Amino acid sequence: MIFCPQCSSILMPKQEKGGNILACSCGYKHKETSEIKLTETREEIKEVEVAEEEKNLNPLVEAECPKCAHTHAHNWEVQTRAADEPPTRFFRCEKCKHTWREYK
């Protein structure tokens, strides 16, 4: 990068009289143009990894599914109401993946 000696802005390439020059918005033009190269580098885009199977990291507890009556479900808690209220417990059936909640 070359900076303008008058206003310290970056000199930008412009075409003038059949050639490329470096010029500033203040009107300054860089005289030496033989070594001007404009290069751009791009990083390689990484492919998005697709998970074949959803892995559940929530604990497995004994709870009866209201849909299929299976006795095991994954459990997690979320604070859905005010801070002075107890959290809401969510369950997801291990067998049919039905999700339900329990308020306390």
Residue whose tokens read 């199977």: 53
Do 72 and 60 form a contact (C-beta atoms < 8 A)?
A: yes
84 tagged catalytic: yes
Written in H, E and C, the secondary structure of 45-93 is: CCCCCCCCCCCCCCCEEECCCCCCCCCEEEEEEECCCCCCCCCEEEEEE
Verify whether residue 40 is a known catalytic residue.
no
Query: Which one of 32, 43, 44, 84 is the catalytic residue?
Result: 84
Catalytic choice (16, 64, 85, 102): 85
Active site residues: 84-85
